[in-house]
Structure 1
Amino acid sequence: MRTSHIAVLFFVLMPIFSLAQNNNTYGVLPSANINYKLPRDWFTNINAESRQELYKNDFNYAYKLTELSLGAGTKVGLRTKVAAGYQLGIANREVFHRFIQQVSHVNKFTSFTLAHRLQTDQTTQKDEDSEYRIRYRLSAEVPLSGQTTDPREFYLKFSNEYLNSIQSGEYDLEIRVTGFLGYVFTPKTKFEIGIDHRIDAFIHDEIRNRFWLGLNFYRSI
């Protein structure tokens, strides 16, 4: 592995090694993403994701959450996009509504791609105070064959995200670290499997660690 690959890997995985592993939860996090390209550099995205808990102090299956998202955006530069969307969430028979705004920028280097994403969202739910969040994610994609990822080839993808939230006047921070192995079936279809590690409850409670087996399907039309 090249020195640049090692540096990127160290940066995105650093929070895992710096925090104690307390209050752990394990589960599965499958998702499907459909992207539609529109004229004049516009695009839309449909996403469906479910969260299924398998272990929390004991083995016990629990279906935690379903999220359905619809977004649209456009390119505002050679490598920059802006987008907005709506997300419907269903958790424990309760429904929440989330409104999302984001800007993303991609830098392509010789042997890997680095992407930045800044996102804000506002969540409303019956009998609950609104929640406001701002999050920043840095992700890197590294081809395992050559300098670009082509069909029938594997790649690695890592990300590190910091999610700040305020609800009922209380602030919290969640750190997300992911590592995925991806495979490109065709120029428009790919699949990823890996670990999504989320750490939160820093401020008011015992640190909570959640480890999800991520299964991500992507299709462009």
Structure 2
Amino acid sequence: MSTSLWAQSSYKAGLLPGLNINQKIAEYWRLNYKQESRLLGAEGRFSEPSPWAMQHSLTDLSVIASRKVGLNNSLAGGYLLRLEKGGPTHRLIQQYTLVSSYDGFRLAHRFSTDQTFSQIEAAEFRLRYRISLDLPLSGQTVDDREFYLKINHEYLNALSEGKYGLEIRLVPSLGYAFNDNNKIEFGIDYRFADFLSGPSESSFWLPLTWYIGI
């Protein structure tokens, strides 16, 4: 039984290179510009492994404005443009973030909704929750020229054409801070989806993101 279920599961694997720029435009306001590409290396079923052949799948371009509404809280809204085969996809984003700092680590909660529209697929509405842990590997805080560990765990609830879907993500990353405004992160982005309505799909991505503050 377990072998049969495993054989029906599909997978994708590839790279996620990205650039993330944060800009302070006023005392309480910030703009975030993000570019992320998806390079698909392999896909298929676990029982039928496919050869690795890198190809561009899509590119996301987004801008999000956020306003600090408390000591550790912020509200944000923005727009994402996805460029892929078949035409562009448009997404509206709204989110609320709460950050708590403790001795030796930082914990962040993000609650967000988004609405996705395109000419080739039905509209999709999602509700997301993400918890993030930032842990310096030297001392109590992340200083210049030091490594740190970041772990993101997220649940994505999606509704499209009356059908509900759930995706779970786990993203452990190792980061290096050149300084407060220049960081780079590399990790593993694992996504598990479609297990409620049929054969599950697992995605394995290797994200490499450069963070710049201006």
Task: State if a TM-score over 0.5 links the two structures.
Answer: yes
What residue number does 1:55 align with?
42
Moved more, 176-185 or 121-130: 121-130
What residue number does 1:67 align with?
60
2:65 & 2:58 partners in 1: Cα distance? 23
Supply the AA of the counterpart residue of 1:50: S
> After the TM superposition, which residues 1-221 of structure 1 pair with which residues of structure 2 at under 5 Å, given as runs?
22-56=9-43, 57-58=49-50, 59-221=52-214
Deviations 1:29-71 (A, max 9, x none): 0110011002221010100000111122312323111100011
Identity %: 43
TM-score by length of 2: 0.91
What residue number does 1:5 align with?
none
Deviations 1:118-173 (A, max 9, x none): 01000111143211001000010100000000010000000100000000110000
Structure 2 portions without partners, runs of 5+: 1-5, 44-48
Shift in Å, 1:110: 0.2
1:104 & 1:192 partners in 2: Cα distance? 21
Number of paired residues?
Answer: 202
Shift in Å, 1:186: 1.3
Supply the AA of the counterpart residue of 1:189: N
RMSD: 1.3
Structure 1 portions without partners, runs of 5+: 1-19
Whether the 8 Å contact between 2:87 and 2:120 is mirrored in structure 1 is no
1:63 & 1:205 partners in 2: Cα distance? 27
SS of the aligned residue for 1:129 comes to: coil
Whether the 8 Å contact between 2:86 and 2:120 is mirrored in structure 1 is no
SS of the aligned residue for 1:106 comes to: strand
TM-score by length of 1: 0.88
Shift in Å, 1:25: 1.7
Segments of 4+ moved more than 6 angstroms? none
1:60 & 1:44 partners in 2: Cα distance? 36
Shift in Å, 1:116: 0.3
